């Protein structure tokens, strides 16, 4: 059973700080995807490293793989070709969408900044 995304791709401006992070910080999107992977797969100690390397080294292909992993872990609707198109056409917005979805799912609120994740 697939769930719908709570946030649309262009809802990225609902969280302008993370949108700017994804756009302006070198490898900001890679960092966001790495934390998403860690939050979605707490049992896999290497999930964060794998996601970061995939996104940094393989570009849009790695980001597509990371989005696919997030979709599977959170049981979200979508297809690999659509993941690819999202990252080809609007990669930063897609990364922020994934971020919002993971933070909402794992922490109960979407507007968490990257430097706040993991703080008790």
Question: Are 96 and 65 spatial neighbours (Cβ–Cβ below 8 Å)?
Answer: no
Report pLDDT digits (tens) over 97-108: 999 999 999 999
> pTM of the full predicted structure?
0.90
Report pLDDT digits (tens) over 8-36: 989 989 999 999 999 998 888 888 999 99
In this predicted structure, the answer to whether residue 55 has a pLDDT above a threshold of 70 is yes
Q: Across the chain, what does the average pLDDT equal?
A: 90
Q: How many CB atoms lie within 10 A of CB 5?
A: 17
- Alpha-carbon Rg for the chain in angstroms: 13
Instruction: List all residues 6 or more positions away from 6 whose beta carbon is below 8 Å from its beta carbon.
Output: 100, 101, 104, 110
In this predicted structure, the answer to whether residue 118 has a pLDDT above a threshold of 90 is no
Question: Are 3 and 85 spatial neighbours (Cβ–Cβ below 8 Å)?
Answer: no
Question: Closest Cα partner for 103 from 19, 27, 36?
Answer: 36
Check residues 2 and 81 and name the one with the higher pLDDT: 81
Question: Are 98 and 69 spatial neighbours (Cβ–Cβ below 8 Å)?
Answer: no
In this predicted structure, the answer to whether residue 119 has a pLDDT above a threshold of 70 is no
């Amino acid at each position: 059973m697939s769930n719908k995304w709570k946030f649309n791709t262009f809802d990225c401006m609902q969280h302008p700080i993370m949108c700017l992070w994804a756009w302006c910080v070198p490898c900001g999107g890679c960092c966001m995807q790495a934390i998403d992977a860690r939050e979605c797969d707490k049992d896999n100690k290497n999930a964060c490293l794998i996601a970061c390397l995939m996104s940094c080294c393989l570009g849009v292909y790695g980001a597509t793989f990371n989005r696919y992993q997030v979709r599977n872990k959170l049981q979200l609707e979508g297809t690999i070709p659509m993941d690819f198109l999202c990252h080809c056409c609007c990669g930063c917005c897609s990364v922020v969408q994934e971020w919002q979805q993971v933070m909402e799912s794992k922490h109960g609120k979407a507007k968490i900044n990257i430097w706040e994740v993991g703080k008790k």
